[in-house]
Amino acid sequence: MKLENTKAQMRKGILEFCILSILEKKEAYPSDIIDTLKDAKLIVVEGTLYPLLTRLKNAELLTYRWEESTSGPPRKYYSLTKMGSAFLEELNSTWSELNTAVIKITKNNSK
């Protein structure tokens, strides 16, 4: 059991949840999402985001539109689909359940 593996697993599960949460408020293009995730120290390298976005899009949780940029190549603006919103809602409730559970358990153990 490697510490790095466990850490990566914990992060990975939450990553999709966070991407959906970011897009819940407003549509964004990958750089926006990367900045937010980097600020929160959730990702170390940007590359992991792209397969995730594609998977989420193929699962029809996300959709995107192209927008021309004045400073560079055109940007893909991602937003949640109806399915994505429903999915996020479920994740939200599961997350709060898990959060409560983890806090409860770790508190009990530290007493």
Partner 1 sequence: MKKTLSVNIKGINFVIEEDAYELLQDYLDRLEKSLKNEEGSQEIIEDVELRIAELSSSKLNDSKTVIELEDIKEILSALGNPEDFIDDTDEESTSSSTKHEQQTSNGPTDKRLYRDTDNAVIAGVCSGIASFFKIDIVFIRALFIVVFLFAGFGIPVYIIMWIIVPKAKTTIDRLRMRGKPITVESMREEVENAAERFKNGSAKFADKIRKGDGYSNTVSRGARFISVFCGLGFVFFGLIFLVIFIIFGIGSTEIIPVHGEYGFLSAAEFGELVLSNSSDFNLFWWGAFVGISSAILFALLVGSMLIFRLYNKWAKFSLLGLFLIGLTGGIICGIVGARTGRDFFSEGEGYRTVGSVKSLQLVVIPQLDEMSIKDGFQVNRDNDGFWEMNDKFIIMDHIKFKYIRSNDSLFHVRQYFSARSYSNKTAELKSENIRHNANLFGDSLLIDTKFKFPRKDKLRDQGVEVIIEIPENGKVKIGNQIIVLDQLNQEDGNYNNYRERGSMEGDGEYYHNDWD
Q: Which stretches of the chain bind partner 1, using CB under 8 A?
A: 1-2, 4-6, 8-9, 12-14, 16-17, 30-31, 44-48, 50-59, 61, 69, 71-76, 87, 90-91, 94-95, 98, 101
Least distance in angstroms from the C-beta of 110 to partner 1 = 21
Say whether 78 sits in a helix, a strand or coil.
strand
DSSP state of 41: T
Helix ranges restricted to H, 44-110? 49-58, 82-110
Q: Angle at the Cα of 110 (from 109 to 111), degrees rounded to 5?
A: 95
Contact in structure between 56 and 23 (CB atoms under 8 Å): no
Least distance in angstroms from the C-beta of 25 to partner 1 = 21
Least distance in angstroms from the C-beta of 111 to partner 1 = 23
**Pick 71 or 109: Cβ nearer partner 1:** 71
Least distance in angstroms from the C-beta of 45 to partner 1 = 2
Copy the structure tokens of residue 24: 């819940």
**Pick 13 or 103: Cβ nearer partner 1:** 13
